Structure 1
Amino acid sequence: MTYKLGLTGSIGMGKTTTARMFLELGFPVWDADEAVHRLYAPGGAAVVPIAAAFPETLNDGGIDRKILKQTLAGNSDALKRLEKIVHPLVAEDREKFVREHHSSQIVVLDIPLLFEGKSEQQVDGVAVVSTDSRTQHDRVLSRPGMTKEHFQMVLSRQMPDAEKRARADWIIPTDTLEGARAAVERICREIVTNA
């Protein structure tokens, strides 16, 4: 029986680095953001239905994310329409990944908006990556093209870190790589031991 571990955390908390640590231990990681990129790419399953709903977003056989973002800006109806198209396709991609890795003791499902999207029902347990707000702020604003305004906008769409931590089965502190790695190893040992 494969244990489905949901991995989540707010922007700048170190989720990508932590996901790599699970991979290094030999556990497959499914990335929700990568799945969306695949679905939007030429030939991706989301291209035809999104282009039908939002024709201006079709570009070179794929969905132009920049134009899509502009189309959705401030339009909650358009966002709901997009979610109706994309969410089932992402869920299908995730289920396929889990089936393909059924022989692994743990499959890590990297889902940035796990709690916000009510995806915790699809996993067996949740690990939240977390650090202090100063470190988070510094990490995010060091990203190319990131502004304070965009950072605030992203944060406003995400559940507060304290709430995520309260709902998590495990918390992975990402203040240091060593601390994060030790937490990841401990989680894997606990899951494998209790399987």
Structure 2
Amino acid sequence: MITIGLTGSIGMGKSTVAAMFADAGVPVFDADAAVHRLQASDAAVISAIEAVFPGSTGPGGVDRAKLGPMVLGDGAALKRLEAIVHPAVQADRAAFLERHAAAPIVLFDIPLLFETGGESRVDVVVVASAPESVQRTRVLQRAGMTPDKLDAILARQLPDIEKTSRADFVVPTGGSLDTTRDAVRQIIACLAARKTPLS
């Protein structure tokens, strides 16, 4: 099995690229989706977050609108949150690998791959990348997003130029969907032709 780590800064089209890999038959583990699911339905995770961040949960689990301001821009608070969530996500990841043990290629969609040292746990790193102007336009169209909030998010992420320089493959997402899809297909074909994973 070859494991791919897919990453890319906010607004770079990473989710679109992940969906293209899935459409091509590659099993995809979405770390963000796992976090959302755990924060909505895992009683142990929800109660632990409420204990550390009082008032951040409700009937539907973690209330992200309330939790967000408690951790955004606060490195220490973020680390406390990650200490709760990361072990649960790792268990979810292990279960995913068990389910897809026979797959020749699997993909892990991890927004903060480099920032958390995750590149050491995959065989190949793929980065979704678009011009900065495209990125900002996409993100600022999101409900509730402001330039200041975007800048705070970007401050936690490695610059795109550094991510692309450390990638094994870069998928361009600033043009047409066909161009992006072709790049995904080429990566899959390249990896399928390999006899063994990268070391």
- Report the TM range for the smaller structure's normalisation: over 0.9
- In structure 1, what is the equivalent of residue 19 of structure 2? 20
- 2: CA distance, partners of 1:144 / 1:77: 27
- In structure 2, what is the equivalent of residue 56 of structure 1? 55
- 1: CA distance, partners of 2:42 / 2:73: 28
Letter in 1 for 2:138: R
Structure 1: where are the runs of 5+ without partners? none
Asked if structure 2 preserves the Cα contact closer than 8 Å seen for 1:11 and 1:140, the reply is yes
- 2: CA distance, partners of 1:79 / 1:138: 27
- In structure 2, what is the equivalent of residue 118 of structure 1? 117
Give me the identity figure in percent.
47
Name whichever of 76-85 and 2-11 sits farther off: 76-85
Note closer, same or farther for the CA distance 1:137–1:71 as it changes in structure 2 (3 Å cut): closer
- In structure 2, what is the equivalent of residue 176 of structure 1? 176
- 1: CA distance, partners of 2:132 / 2:74: 30
CA-CA distance at 1:37 after TM superposition: 0.5
Alignment of 1:1-195 (within 5 A): 2-60=1-59, 62-174=61-173, 175-195=175-195
SS of structure 1 residue aligned to 2:155: helix
Work out the number of aligned pairs and report it. Answer: 194
Asked if structure 2 preserves the Cα contact closer than 8 Å seen for 1:38 and 1:44, the reply is no
Letter in 1 for 2:192: V
- 2: CA distance, partners of 1:58 / 1:177: 38
- 1: CA distance, partners of 2:166 / 2:32: 22
Letter in 2 for 1:142: Q
CA-CA distance at 1:143 after TM superposition: 2.0
CA-CA distance at 1:74 after TM superposition: 4.5
Letter in 1 for 2:165: A
CA-CA distance at 1:125 after TM superposition: 0.7
Name whichever of 106-115 and 71-80 sits farther off: 71-80
Offset from partner CA, 1:80-121 (integer Å, 9 cap, x none)? 211111111112211211221111111110001100111111
Letter in 2 for 1:42: S
- 1: CA distance, partners of 2:127 / 2:160: 9
SS of structure 1 residue aligned to 2:193: helix
CA-CA distance at 1:146 after TM superposition: 1.9
- RMSD over aligned Cα atoms: 1.5
Letter in 1 for 2:106: V
SS of structure 2 residue aligned to 1:56: coil
- 1: CA distance, partners of 2:39 / 2:145: 23
SS of structure 2 residue aligned to 1:129: strand
* Off by >4 Å, runs of 4+ in structure 1: none
Letter in 2 for 1:190: C
- 2: CA distance, partners of 1:145 / 1:49: 27
- 2: CA distance, partners of 1:113 / 1:96: 21
Letter in 2 for 1:90: V
- 2: CA distance, partners of 1:130 / 1:8: 9
